[in-house]
Amino acid sequence: MCGIIGYVGNKSAVQILLDGLIRLEYRGYDSAGIATLADSQFHVLRRVGRVESLINAAGEADMAGHVGIGHTRWATHGVVSEKNAHPHQSFHGLFSITHNGVVENYESIKEFLLARGFTFESETDSEILANLIEYHFNKETDSENRFLKSVQKALFHVRGTYGLAILCRDCADEMVVARKSSPLLIGVGEGEMFVASDVSAIARYTHDIVYLNDGEIARLTPADFSITTLRNESVDVVKCELDWQIEDADRSGYEHYMLKEIFEQPRALENAMRGRFSDDLSTARFGGLRMTIRELRQVDRILFCACGTAWIACLVAEYLIEKYARIPVEVEYASEFRYKNSPLDKNTLVFVISQSGETLDTMAALQEAKRKGFRTLAITNVVGSTIARESDGGIYQHSGPEIGVASTKAFTAQICVAAMLALYLGRIRDMSFEEGVLFVQALHDLPNVVERVLAQKDSIEKIAEKYAHHNDMLFLGRQEMFPIALEGALKLKEISYMHSEGYPAAEMKHGPIALVSEKCPCFFLAPQRSILQKNIANIQEVRSRRAKVIAVATVGSELGEKFVDDLIPIPEVHPALQPIVATIPVQLFAYYVAKFRGCDIDKPRNLAKSVTVE
Ligand code: AGP
Q: Domain residue spans in the chain?
A: 3-242, 247-454, 456-604
Contact 112, 90 (CB under 8 A): no
CA dist., res. 303 & res. 202, Å (int)? 36
Please identify, by atom number, the ligand 1 atom nearest to the C-alpha of residue 608. Answer: 4
Q: Which residues form the pocket of ligand 1, taking CB atoms under 6 Å from any ligand atom?
A: 307-310, 354-356, 359, 362, 405-407, 494, 610-611
Q: Which residue has the CA at smallest separation from atom 5 of ligand 1?
A: 308
Pocket test for ligand 1, best of 182, 307, 486 (most atoms within 8 A of CB): 307
CA dist., res. 286 & res. 425, Å (int)? 11
Q: What share of the chain is helix, strand, coil (3-state, %, to 5)?
A: 40, 20, 40
Q: Measure 605 CA to ligand 1 centroid, in angstroms.
A: 15
Instruction: Count H helices and E strands in the chain, helices first.
Output: 18, 24
**For residue 275, what are the contacts with CB-CB under 8 A and spacing of at least 6?**
none
Q: Measure 493 CA to ligand 1 centroid, in angstroms.
A: 13
Taking alpha carbons only, the member of 87, 79, 123, 64 closest to residue 4 is 87
Q: Which residue has the CA at smallest separation from atom 4 of ligand 1?
A: 406
Evaluate whether 3-242 and 456-604 have a shared fold: no
- Kindly report, residue by residue over 188-234, the tens digit of the pLDDT: 999 999 999 988 899 999 999 999 999 999 999 999 999 999 999 98
Q: Which residue has the CA at smallest separation from atom 7 of ligand 1?
A: 308
Taking alpha carbons only, the member of 330, 335, 391, 392 closest to residue 364 is 335
Q: What would the 3-class secondary structure string for 220-263 be?
A: ECCCCEEEEECCCCECCCCEEECCCCHHHHCCCCCCCHHHHHHH
Contact 562, 554 (CB under 8 A): no
Please identify, by atom number, the ligand 1 atom nearest to the C-alpha of residue 408. Answer: 2
Please identify, by atom number, the ligand 1 atom nearest to the C-alpha of residue 609. Answer: 4
Q: Which residue has the CA at smallest separation from atom 10 of ligand 1?
A: 308
Q: What is the pLDDT of residue 77?
A: 66
pTM of the model as a whole:
0.77
| 38 burial level (CB within 10 Å; 0-12, 13-18, 19+) | middle
Q: Measure 27 CA to ligand 1 centroid, in angstroms.
A: 11
Pocket test for ligand 1, best of 611, 613, 614 (most atoms within 8 A of CB): 611
Q: Measure 357 CA to ligand 1 centroid, in angstroms.
A: 10
Q: What is the pLDDT of residue 247?
A: 66
CA dist., res. 324 & res. 576, Å (int)? 9
Superfamily of domain covering 456-604: Glucose-6-phosphate isomerase like protein; domain 1 (3.40.50.10490)
Which one from 2, 307, 314, 522 is the annotated catalytic residue? Answer: 2
153 is catalytic: no
Q: Which residue has the CA at smallest separation from atom 2 of ligand 1?
A: 406
260 is catalytic: no
Q: What is the pLDDT of residue 25?
A: 75
Q: Measure 609 CA to ligand 1 centroid, in angstroms.
A: 7
Could you tell me the fold of the domain covering 3-242? Glutamine Phosphoribosylpyrophosphate, subunit 1, domain 1 (3.60.20)
Low-confidence ranges of the chain (pLDDT < 50): none
Contact 30, 48 (CB under 8 A): yes
Please identify, by atom number, the ligand 1 atom nearest to the C-alpha of residue 610. Answer: 15
CA dist., res. 427 & res. 39, Å (int)? 66
CATH class assigned to 247-454: alpha beta
Q: Measure 146 CA to ligand 1 centroid, in angstroms.
A: 40
Q: What is the pLDDT of residue 28?
A: 54
Contact 390, 366 (CB under 8 A): yes
Q: What is the pLDDT of residue 52?
A: 87
Please identify, by atom number, the ligand 1 atom nearest to the C-alpha of residue 387. Answer: 16
Pocket test for ligand 1, best of 309, 379, 606 (most atoms within 8 A of CB): 309
Please identify, by atom number, the ligand 1 atom nearest to the C-alpha of residue 410. Answer: 14
Q: Which residue has the CA at smallest separation from atom 9 of ligand 1?
A: 308
Put residue 142 in one of left, alpha, beta given phi > 0 → left and psi -120 to 50 → alpha.
beta
Pocket test for ligand 1, best of 200, 366, 407 (most atoms within 8 A of CB): 407
Cβ count within 10 A of residue 39: 9
Q: Measure 360 CA to ligand 1 centroid, in angstroms.
A: 11
In one-letter notation, the amino acid at residue 157 is H
Q: Measure 456 CA to ligand 1 centroid, in angstroms.
A: 26
Q: Measure 356 CA to ligand 1 centroid, in angstroms.
A: 8
Q: Measure 413 CA to ligand 1 centroid, in angstroms.
A: 13
Please identify, by atom number, the ligand 1 atom nearest to the C-alpha of residue 309. Answer: 8
Please identify, by atom number, the ligand 1 atom nearest to the C-alpha of residue 359. Answer: 16
Q: Which residue has the CA at smallest separation from atom 16 of ligand 1?
A: 354
| Strands 329-333 and 301-306, bridge-based pairing | parallel
- Kindly report, residue by residue over 33-73, the tens digit of the pLDDT: 999 999 999 999 999 988 888 999 998 888 999 999 999 98
Which one from 548, 595, 603, 609 is the annotated catalytic residue? Answer: 609
